[in-house]
Copies of this chain bind each other. A is one copy, B any other.
C-alpha cells in the first residue's frame, strides 16, 4: 500500500509495526480520471477515501438555479468522503468528482468498523480528523459573516495556496459564495 496515509497517521498516533501491517490489509488503491464521480447526490457514501494525489471537488446542486455550489476541495493528504453519509450509511446530499486524475486509498464501511475494533488506537486519529475538519468549517462560517468577498478571496489564497494553484478560479468563486465575474474584478485591482 502507498505509505502516504500511514505517514499522515504517524503525525497523530504511534502504531506498532504489527498494527501497521494489519492496517494496510484493510485499504485498497483506486484511480479516478478527470471527470469521474466518486459519489453522487442520493447515493450512500460506502467508502472512506484518502487522497494520495489529485484534486476533487465536493459540490451541491442548487435546486433553484441548477448551478453547482462548491462545498470543499480535496487534494493530496486530505479526505474526500461525505463523513455524515459514510458514518450513518445514509444518502448523501452532495457530489464528489475528480477534477484531475486522482489516486485514492479506500476502505469500505464494514472494514472500517472492523479496523477500529482491531486497532482501537485509531479511534483517536479519526476523532482528531473530524475535529480538525469541524474547526475549519466553523472558521469558514465566521469568515463568511465577517469578511467581504475580497477579504475572503485573499484569505483563501493564503490559507489554501496549493488548492488555489490547482483549481480554476470560477470554482473558487463558488466555494466562496461569490460570482466568478466578481472574483475577476477583485483580481484586476
Copies of this chain, count: 2
Q: Evaluate contact between B134 and A123: CB separation under 8 angstroms.
A: no
- A144 on interface, CB distance cutoff 8 Å: yes
Describe A's contact surface by its main secondary structure.
Answer: helix
Q: Evaluate contact between B69 and A134: CB separation under 8 angstroms.
A: no
Binds B, one of A30-38, A42-50, A135-143: A135-143
Known A83-B131, A123-B123, A123-B127: A141·B146 in contact at CB below 8 Å: no
- List B contacts of A131 (CB < 8 A): 83-84, 87-88, 130
**Which residues 111-168 of A have a CB within 8 angstroms of B?**
120, 123, 126-128, 130-135, 137-142, 144-146
Tell me, in angstroms, the Cα distance from A174 to B133 when the chains sit together: 23
Interface residues of A, count at CB 8 A: 34
- List B contacts of A60 (CB < 8 A): 142, 145-146
- List B contacts of A135 (CB < 8 A): 83-84
Q: Evaluate contact between B141 and A137: CB separation under 8 angstroms.
A: yes
Further pairs besides A84-B138, A137-B138, A144-B144: 17, Cβ < 8 Å: A60-B145, A64-B146, A71-B141, A83-B131, A84-B131, A84-B134, A84-B135, A87-B128, A93-B142, A120-B120, A123-B123, A126-B127, A127-B130, A137-B137, A137-B141, A144-B177, A145-B177
